[in-house]
Structure 1
Amino acid sequence: MTLAEILASLFPEGHAVTVADGLVAGEGPFEGGRLRVIGVDGDAPLGVEGALTLAGHVLDAVRAGDKAPILVAVDSDSQRMSRRDELLGLNECLAHLAKALLLADRRGHPTVGLLYGHSAAGAFIATALATRVLAALPGANPSVMDLPSVARVTKLPLEKLQEMAKSTPVFAPGLDNMLATGAVHAVLDPEKPLGPQIRDLIAVLPERDERDRLGQERGGRPVAEAIAKAVADQIRAG
């Protein structure tokens, strides 16, 4: 689905969501209130200005104090790979965006990510993975790092990594692998109105991050939950 189709399905009565330079922002009527929407469209890279702009929209929502849900719609490239952005502290700007979304979540705003295209690396982590739950539409193509990049970092042959990816979802790209690891909670049905599907996700938002549990249940991350629990227990024990 295109962003226009997603918005029409979410807001059949109309909306005030706009796209400028690949950045999505606005709102529409939702369940007697409103649904705020931010995101990245058109496979655009996320740079310093984009990350700060999106974070500003999230913080404006928090200041409004209405606890309206926030939908983060994502069809992005990775973070913008430029010397300028790196020198301006792109890593800190992406972290600021992720922390703004976490703050909104803690202040009572249900945060839901919606992957409908590509996303990768820092842009993926600072947007889609920073929400309380992450949904996707069929055809979405997320990755934390593509396999050619993994090959350069690990010095392993690409062919070996491609073979490993068939049985090791935790580092492999693609929607099926993100589902198996628990990163993506659910795949929505594009043939049905999206508004009720988003409403149903919000209605059962977990009280804590459940990606480890989902990854264990689905077989994509069989030991992450146990390790996280052991670490937390040690911290509590002092």
Structure 2
Amino acid sequence: MMDWQNVAAQLFPGGHTITEADNFLSGSAQVDGKPVAVIGTTDHTPIGIEIALAQAQAILKTVCEHPGRPILILVDTQGQRLRHRDEMLGINSYMAHLGKCVDLARRKGHTVIGLVYDQALSGGFITSGLIASACYALPEATIRVMGLPAMARITKVPEERLTELAKDNPVFAPGPENYLRMGGLHGIWDGDLAGELIRALADAKAGDERMALGLARGGRLMAHPVAQAVRVGSDVRPA
């Protein structure tokens, strides 16, 4: 397990004001002489309604009080919290609210960078780092939207068959390398984390290039052509 203090020390050698409260991270730091807002989670915490609201509030506060300030999301979560209480209170709406806040920040001109420094699973990842302007991961990170045993139960495809498919198809396989091939990750950081963050902020694009990256890297071949066909109203057929 990679602790957030170690990661923060490498990302911000000049220091930071990040604090932890009930597995929720928030604060700020200087990156290349400019302020950056930082939010995130730690200890593989599941995203329940409290943390979803805390993250959303921190993002909205940055949008209101610091227009245009970049936002770094540090991701370490086992996914959406699976409790009857959260389900009854509408955890799906809280997660959607968080995703909308990230989208609002991007539309308002904030560069949002996600960094999976430990674990990223299911809804906790989808509504944070995965919809940032760009998402990166450390080499030792664990990333998956759904484990193969759970996927087998849902799809009714034998787990042995999914395991076989995962050897060649990144859609079925976990890990940062496979998400890099699919375009979900823009890169894997190994070494100078402070320098990597500076470059990521400088290189961030306003649009969403994940589908194009997945096509170029050979890990997600149909998403971009289908989206382009829908946009222009033409037919698309597999090569």
- Normalising by structure 2, what TM-score? 0.94
Deviation per CA, 1:68-95: give whole Å up to 9, x if none: 1100000111100011101111111111
Q: Partners in 2 of 1:44 and 1:93 — Cα distance?
A: 16
| 1:231 positional shift | 1.1
Instruction: Out of 29-38 and 139-148, give the one that drifted further.
Output: 29-38
Paired residue type of 1:204: D
| 1:183 positional shift | 0.2
Paired residue type of 2:199: D
Paired residues of 2:135 and 2:184 also in contact (CA < 8 A): yes
What corresponds to 1:87 in structure 2? 88
What corresponds to 2:35 in structure 1? 34
User: Does 2:52 align with 1:51?
Assistant: yes
What corresponds to 1:224 in structure 2? 223
Paired residues of 2:119 and 2:141 also in contact (CA < 8 A): yes
| 1:196 positional shift | 2.2
Paired residue type of 1:50: I
Alignment: residue pair count = 233
Q: Secondary structure at the match of 2:162?
A: helix
| 1:201 positional shift | 1.0
Q: Partners in 2 of 1:171 and 1:85 — Cα distance?
A: 28
What corresponds to 1:96 in structure 2? 97
Q: Partners in 2 of 1:43 and 1:205 — Cα distance?
A: 27
What corresponds to 2:211 in structure 1? 212
Q: Partners in 1 of 2:174 and 2:11 — Cα distance?
A: 28
Instruction: Out of 6-15 and 107-116, give the one that drifted further.
Output: 6-15
Paired residue type of 1:46: I
Q: Secondary structure at the match of 1:80?
A: coil
| 1:40 positional shift | 1.1
What corresponds to 1:2 in structure 2? 3
Q: Partners in 1 of 2:103 and 2:172 — Cα distance?
A: 24
Q: Partners in 2 of 1:198 and 1:30 — Cα distance?
A: 8
What corresponds to 2:177 in structure 1? 176
**5+ residue gaps in structure 2?**
235-239
Deviation per CA, 1:115-155: give whole Å up to 9, x if none: 01111111010111120100111111111111111011011
Paired residue type of 2:47: L
Q: Partners in 1 of 2:70 and 2:140 — Cα distance?
A: 25
Paired residues of 2:75 and 2:120 also in contact (CA < 8 A): yes
Paired residue type of 2:95: L
| 1:32 positional shift | 2.4
User: Does 2:123 align with 1:130?
Assistant: no
**5+ residue gaps in structure 1?**
none
- Normalising by structure 1, what TM-score? 0.94
**Structure 1 runs (4+) greater than 4 angstroms displaced:** none
| 1:167 positional shift | 1.5
Paired residues of 2:176 and 2:188 also in contact (CA < 8 A): no
What corresponds to 1:114 in structure 2? 115
Q: Partners in 1 of 2:122 and 2:45 — Cα distance?
A: 13
| 1:36 positional shift | 0.7
Q: How high is the sequence identity, in percent, across the aligned residues?
A: 41
